[in-house]
């Protein structure tokens, strides 16, 4: 590995990268086990799938520290050397990608870093760069679309649940109030599995909102994250879950219209 990559000049189109021995060893210490696990999984998939087509996405985004260009090169180079074929890769970008809210960070810094990751994806692939926890990151979509074009995978799924709650807020205000109160109780435990910074003390007081104002909670940073990461607890609560689905099934078109508007807002910067 050191012979192949250390102190070598790597051409990346508009950029060149020279990875020191120390940087390479750090990359291997940080991502080596993940690479080995991915290779094992890929070989298993390939054996089980036989002649049937399948796609693999590699994700290293759920980490505390940013993926540097040197680390990205290490991961992609080693996966490629070991025969893995993948369609997209999710680095840990600069800034903060919290669940269900916009990007938190400096856009100029993000653009500079993203351009380097894109250069690596083109040079060692091409493969797509994936935006994980990509829901509602509206401030960075124009940057990603302008720089990467089709080499983007936008991962947005969980906020469909929030649009379901938006529908319920209008259809059954008492049920919505009950779900919010339950989510507030569950948040301290449920947040442990997610990268979020919402503070329930900074949520608008539920008792201060009229029924017609309840949906505004879905546009508040703190309330939105609290409601987002407690979805599992709500859906496992038999009575709340049954009532939620009953309301949606009785008013499918309302939910569909909210979903359509929600996804159009996400996709329009890429069209």
How much is the pLDDT for 83? 97
Residue 271 has a pLDDT of 86
Cα 66 to Cα 26: distance, rounded to the nearest angstrom: 13
Q: Token digits for 73?
A: 């090169």
Which three-class secondary structure string do you get for 71-134?
Answer: HHHHHHHHHHHCCCCCCEEECCCCCECCCCCCCECCHHHHHHHHHHHHHHHHHHCCCEEEECCC
Contact, 269 vs 154, CB < 8 A? Answer: no
> What confidence score (pLDDT) does residue 64 get?
85
Please list the ranges in the chain whose pLDDT falls under 50: none
Contact assessment for residue 56 and residue 86, using Cβ atoms and an 8 Å cutoff? yes
- Enumerate residues 6+ apart whose C-beta is below 8 A from 90: 57, 58, 59, 60, 61, 129, 130, 131, 132, 153, 155
- Taking the C-alpha atoms of residue 119 and residue 201, their distance in angstroms, rounded to an integer, is 43
88: its two tokens: 């997209």
Q: Is 32 exposed, middle or buried (0-12, 13-18, 19+ CB in 10 A)?
A: middle
Closest CA to 74 of 101, 34, 129, 132: 34
Q: What is the pLDDT of residues 25-41, one digit of tens each?
A: 999 999 999 999 999 99
Read out DSSP for the chain?
A: -HHHHTT-EEEETTEEEE--HHHHHHHHHHHHHHHHHHHHHHHHHHHHHTTS----EEE--SSSSPPPHHHHHHHHHHHHHTT---SEEE---SSB--TTS--BS-HHHHHHHHHHHHHHHHHH---EEEETT-TT-TTTHHHHHHHHTT-EEE---THHHHHHHHHHHHH-HHHHHHHHHHHHHHHHHHGGGS-----GGGSPPGGG--GGGGGGGGGSHHHHHHHHHTHHHHHHSHHHHHHHHHHHHHTHHHHHHHHHHHHHHHHGGG-
Phi and psi at residue 90, to the nearest 5°: -110, 100
Give residue 193's pLDDT.
Answer: 84
């Amino acid at each position: 590995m050191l012979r192949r990559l250390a102190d070598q000049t790597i051409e990346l189109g508009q950029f060149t990268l020279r990875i020191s021995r120390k940087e390479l060893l750090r990359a291997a210490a940080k991502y080596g086990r993940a690479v080995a696990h991915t290779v094992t999984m890929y070989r298993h998939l390939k054996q089980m799938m036989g002649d049937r087509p399948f796609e693999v996405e590699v994700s290293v985004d759920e980490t505390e520290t940013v993926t540097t260009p040197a680390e990205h090169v290490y991961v992609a180079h080693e996966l490629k050397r070991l025969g893995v074929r993948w369609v997209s890769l999710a680095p840990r970008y600069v800034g903060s990608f919290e669940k269900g809210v916009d990007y938190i960070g400096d856009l100029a810094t993000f653009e500079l870093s993203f351009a380097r990751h894109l250069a690596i994806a083109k040079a060692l692939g091409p493969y797509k760069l994936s935006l994980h926890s990509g829901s509602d990151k509206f401030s960075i979509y124009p940057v990603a679309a302008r720089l990467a074009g089709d080499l983007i995978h936008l991962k947005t799924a969980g906020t469909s649940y929030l649009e379901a709650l938006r529908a319920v807020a209008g259809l059954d205000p008492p049920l919505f109030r009950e779900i919010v109160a339950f989510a507030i109780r569950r948040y301290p435990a449920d947040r442990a599995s997610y990268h979020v910074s919402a503070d329930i003390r900074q949520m608008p007081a539920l008792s201060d909102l009229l029924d017609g104002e309840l949906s505004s909670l879905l546009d508040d940073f703190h309330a939105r994250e609290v409601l987002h990461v407690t979805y599992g607890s709500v859906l496992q609560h038999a009575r709340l879950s049954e009532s939620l689905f009953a309301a949606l099934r009785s008013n499918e078109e309302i939910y569909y219209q909210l979903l359509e508007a929600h996804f159009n807002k996400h996709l329009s910067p890429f069209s």
